[in-house]
Structure 1
Amino acid sequence: MFDNVLEQQRIAKATELKTAGFNPYPHFLQKELSIKEFKNKFAYITQNDEKRDENVFVSIAGRIKLLRIAGKSIFANIEDESENVQIYFSKDSIGEEQFNLFKKNLEVGDIILAKGYPFLTKMGEFSLHISKLILATKSIVPLPEKFHGLTDIEQRYRKRYVDMIMNTDVRKDFFTRSKIVSLIRHFFENKGFLEVETPMMHPIAGGANAKPFVTFHNALGVERFLRIAPELHLKRLIVGGFEAVFEINRCFRNEGMDLTHNPEFTTIEFYWAYHNYKDLMDLTEELFALLLKELKLESKIKFDDKTIDFSKPFERISYKEALEKYGNLSKEIIENKEQILNKLKSDGFEANERLDLGHLQAELFDHYVEDKLINPTFIIDFPISISPLSRRSEKDENIAERFELFIAGKEIANGFNELNDPLDQYERFLKQIEAKNAGDEEACEMDEDFVNALGYGMPPTAGEGIGIDRLVMLLTGKKSIRDVILFPAMRPLKSELKEDKE
């Protein structure tokens, strides 16, 4: 560890500082202002005839990003989370002994606390004239070379901390993510929803169609599943008497990784008693309007090579109509299992002949419709067989009162009128077991306790889930989900794999 030449040189410098009586890792240091606050507070210096204010003594802190030694003077650029600024010190300002010590041992990457007064250099650059300098943290590992930075995308994700040091826009993106989550939270609180927390480890993998991560609870001696969705616990709370609840938290799905999928991801799920899925669609449009306004985004935004128009009411179109309109599929194909299989096979897609009509229609949707839904579009009235937790339509028992919101060709939200008939729910779970036996690895498990909860009575309720990561991708213009997750899942390096000792 820390065994290359440059790292060893920096360790030697840290040792020299210690020998000279300077702790390279001191504590109990406080800065007075952020760099942004410093620049705003003393902006008057740029209009001051004296070009300095020596009556001020202020402290700021940051990481050295640039360092230039000019004889008896040193100029540096330091950066904190808010901004960057130039600093200046000399033998006269901090004393010859300390100047020589810092001249020899201070490097790019070190974190310093600087105290002094604001001034303009001869070149007209706003700076801090230092009269006291404290090394706050000695950097042992050199930063990437200034002009090329950290450009390798794999390294950026694996070493997010370095990525954030070198690429200030990355920090800005995660500030934006935090703001989006905060706006969402306050939106629902202002609507009268109660924020709750439900378990992360479930005895049954339920609440969505997905493969779970399996773990083991040593104290109880039983298997547990990292939750794939909080849905069934949140609906238990509606049974218990809450009428509007939401949860913002992690979910886990043991599936593939790509530009829009990470095995752990963040969602908001919310449930609203005495409301229906049309109310949820209205609420979702209202939420998007708020986010665009607060983030100061135009009603038409660019994403990848697409222009997404939020200015109009979101389109609402039924599942089958979308297959016709966007998939260019005839009703004869859509309604006939054999013709769907022939169509999929002729176009080179895998087709499982054991799947029912609803699941095969879902295959059509995935292959022919989804990527064409660019502007915000609510797909409504799903096949009942792919909606095991949704309320059945009274007009057509093969249809679920459900919607999914698609933007830029990706699913952003999923919502429906909740099934509150315990007998129907029990039969649906049985059909899910049949689907699993037929080859659907993502089918739901039977949850008898949830069925029992419904037996006590759940009022008419609508519920929805929104993928926070995909939403942030959309609103920040990022093409990869890894760009909006601080520490995304990565394939292990060869050096991280355990060697086969057999």
Structure 2
Amino acid sequence: MINEETERRARLQRLLNAGKNPFPSRVLRTHTLQEVVTEYASLEASKTIVSVVGRVRAVRQHGKLLFIKLEDGFGEGQLLVRTDAIGSVAYEEFMATVDVGDFVEGSGPVMRTKTGQESLAVTQVRIIAKALRPLPEKWHGLSDVEMRFRQRELDLITNPAVRHTFVQRAHIISAIRRFFDDHGFLEVDTPILQHVAAGASARPFVTHHNALDEDLYLRIAPELFLKRCVIGGFERVYEIARCFRNEGIDHTHNPEFSQVEAYAAYMDYETLMGFMEELICALIDAIGLDRSAVPFSGHTLDFSNAIPRKTYRDLIVEKSGIDVDTLEDVESARTAARTVGVDVQMEWSLGTVIDEIWKKAVRPSIVQPIFVTDYPASITPLAKRKEDNQNRIEMFQLVVGGGLEIMKAFGELNDPVDQEMRMNENEEAHQRGDDDAQRRDDAFIRAMQHGMPPMSGVGMGIERITQVLTDSHNIKEVILFPTLRSEASIESRV
């Protein structure tokens, strides 16, 4: 135990010995610290007794005066503690037991100090939560990046910019809800525990339900259940869904993440493109950014004009010289992929190999916003084939800032015969060892056979769009408590 912690525990014991409760259940608060600042003139004129609470950020003694810098969730303020206001015994006891990091309650009138500092001249003050560990004095005291994520509470306490990022994230989520609600979408909840890990190409987490005595999967996407809602008669639905994918961790991926998925009957995917462009602009406006100058990862992104649209094939030809339309089988795709440096895995399906070409040779070069459209049918079993080219599907992604994929959308496949055939192909790929291949979902196929209206659907990563709009390079910067190796595991490896 560090020396300071020992001293703080001794101060805690001193409070207890004096019969004081250092962790009371009830506290008195009439104003936030921000309200004291904004209402100072009227509070001073009326001589109102104000009660505030907050965390002690600094303690400074000057003779028989104690200056306490206080911080709550809304602002900062100063308490002025004087012996003639609270009594010498109470003053000495408070001074002997208070530490930076403690939470305190103070009551009294407002006043200005001799230097003009607006303060609260307390007539009553007490500790309402004793801190047993010190706070980092400066951020370089906790400079290890992983420790910032592991002890996010200290990150939030010490770094106002980090707190602001998560306030912005909350505003983004609120704006997403408001946008979909205003356009006639119904927010629904679908299962996190699922019998089949379907709706996306990803490896799932597996758990076991003891009462049912069977394995279940944490959802990788809510897609198929949302489509079943549309089949059931809800024409427009959306869900802000927590999803789980048992995949690698890097600056754009976390195994646990949030996304919004939305489905609209009778809306084609090109109309959806324009709809989602409106949403992006609404989010930019909601957090006070300039549409023409969104800073991200050293670039300035421009969303002020219509986002250009370009086909997946044309972009790959442009950047790599490979025409994916000529790749008729997985072997020809493997050969092409190796020419651009892809480390090909033999269990990959044709669609997976083509997508790896895209990720390696094209995606990193895209900076300004672009809608990438018309992907090969082998990429996903869930999108409708284009009427003028059966080898391509009605699909688009919004890509920005050096290859960050913000959203993925389909003109949704609603032909149950085609759906079953394509799910079977993906199931075969899974059986051959492609753990990321989408699984066959018989319940979904059965639902489709009852009739599914024409529709389009989209999924957008909450973390991804928050990264862009808060200029955060690492996804961990926009997840309060990202997935990390356990401390016990780290110690066992040393």
Q: Distance in 2 between matches of 1:212 and 1:255?
A: 8
SS at match of 2:109: strand
Residues 226-283 of structure 1: CA deviation (Å, up to 9, x unaligned):
0000001011111111100000020000000001101000000011001111121111
Question: Is the alpha carbon distance of 1:496 and 1:371 closer, same or farther for their aligned partners in structure 2, counting shifts above 3 Å?
Answer: closer
Question: Is the alpha carbon distance of 1:107 and 1:237 closer, same or farther for their aligned partners in structure 2, counting shifts above 3 Å?
Answer: same
Q: Distance in 1 between matches of 2:341 and 2:317?
A: 20
> What's the offset of the Cα at 1:290?
1.0
Contact 1:323 1:334 in 2 (8 A): no
Greater shift after overlay, 399-408 or 490-499? Answer: 490-499
Name which of 2, 11, 19 aligns with 1:13. Answer: 11
Matches within 5 A, 1:227-246: 227-246=219-238
Q: TM-score, normalised by structure 2?
A: 0.95
Match of 1:344 in 2: 337
* Equivalent position amino acid for 1:280 in 2: L
Q: Distance in 1 between matches of 2:393 and 2:358?
A: 16
Match of 2:363 in 1: 370
Match of 2:175 in 1: 183
SS at match of 2:375: strand
Match of 2:317 in 1: 324
Name which of 334, 352, 362 aligns with 1:359. Answer: 352
* Identical aligned residues as a percent: 39
Q: Distance in 1 between matches of 2:398 and 2:28?
A: 48
Match of 1:272 in 2: 264
Match of 1:214 in 2: 206
Matches within 5 A, 1:161-200: 161-200=153-192
Matches within 5 A, 1:36-51: 36-42=34-40
SS at match of 1:209: coil
Q: TM-score, normalised by structure 1?
A: 0.93
Residue 474 of structure 2 corresponds to residue 480 of structure 1 = yes
Q: Distance in 2 between matches of 1:262 and 1:356?
A: 24
Q: Distance in 2 between matches of 1:380 and 1:160?
A: 39
Match of 1:87 in 2: 79
Name which of 76, 88, 92 aligns with 1:96. Answer: 88
Match of 1:48 in 2: none
Residues 434-493 of structure 1: CA deviation (Å, up to 9, x unaligned):
222444220011111110000000111111000001111111111111111111001122
Greater shift after overlay, 83-92 or 235-244? Answer: 83-92
Matches within 5 A, 1:417-436: 417-436=411-430
Match of 2:59 in 1: 67
Contact 1:259 1:482 in 2 (8 A): yes
Greater shift after overlay, 184-193 or 363-372? Answer: 363-372
* Equivalent position amino acid for 1:88 in 2: L
Name which of 112, 129, 134 aligns with 1:137. Answer: 129
Residues 150-196 of structure 1: CA deviation (Å, up to 9, x unaligned):
33211111111111111122211111111110110011001010000
Q: Distance in 1 between matches of 2:361 and 2:85?
A: 70
Q: Distance in 1 between matches of 2:236 and 2:246?
A: 30
Greater shift after overlay, 210-219 or 328-337? Answer: 328-337
Q: Distance in 2 between matches of 1:201 and 1:172?
A: 33
Residue 257 of structure 2 corresponds to residue 259 of structure 1 = no
Q: Distance in 1 between matches of 2:350 and 2:143?
A: 48
Q: Distance in 2 between matches of 1:441 and 1:116?
A: 65
> What's the offset of the Cα at 1:293?
1.5
* Equivalent position amino acid for 1:5 in 2: N
Match of 1:382 in 2: 375
Contact 1:323 1:365 in 2 (8 A): yes
SS at match of 2:202: coil
Contact 2:322 2:336 in 1 (8 A): no
* Equivalent position amino acid for 2:124 in 1: K
SS at match of 2:447: helix
Contact 2:139 2:158 in 1 (8 A): no
* Equivalent position amino acid for 1:361 in 2: I
Residue 385 of structure 2 corresponds to residue 392 of structure 1 = yes
Name which of 300, 308, 312 aligns with 1:307. Answer: 300
* Equivalent position amino acid for 2:387 in 1: E
CA RMSD between the two structures: 2.1
* Equivalent position amino acid for 1:391 in 2: K
> What's the offset of the Cα at 1:371?
1.2
Contact 2:139 2:159 in 1 (8 A): no
> What's the offset of the Cα at 1:331?
3.5
Residues 78-121 of structure 1: CA deviation (Å, up to 9, x unaligned):
11111111221110111111100011111101000111222222
Contact 1:246 1:271 in 2 (8 A): yes
SS at match of 1:397: strand
> What's the offset of the Cα at 1:26?
1.0
Q: Distance in 1 between matches of 2:51 and 2:349?
A: 69
Contact 1:53 1:119 in 2 (8 A): no
Q: Distance in 2 between matches of 1:151 and 1:227?
A: 35
Question: Is the alpha carbon distance of 1:147 and 1:217 closer, same or farther for their aligned partners in structure 2, counting shifts above 3 Å?
Answer: closer
> What's the offset of the Cα at 1:345?
2.6
Match of 1:465 in 2: 459
> What's the offset of the Cα at 1:205?
0.7
Greater shift after overlay, 204-213 or 294-303? Answer: 294-303
Q: Distance in 2 between matches of 1:267 and 1:146?
A: 35
Structure 2: 5+ residue runs without aligned partners? Answer: none
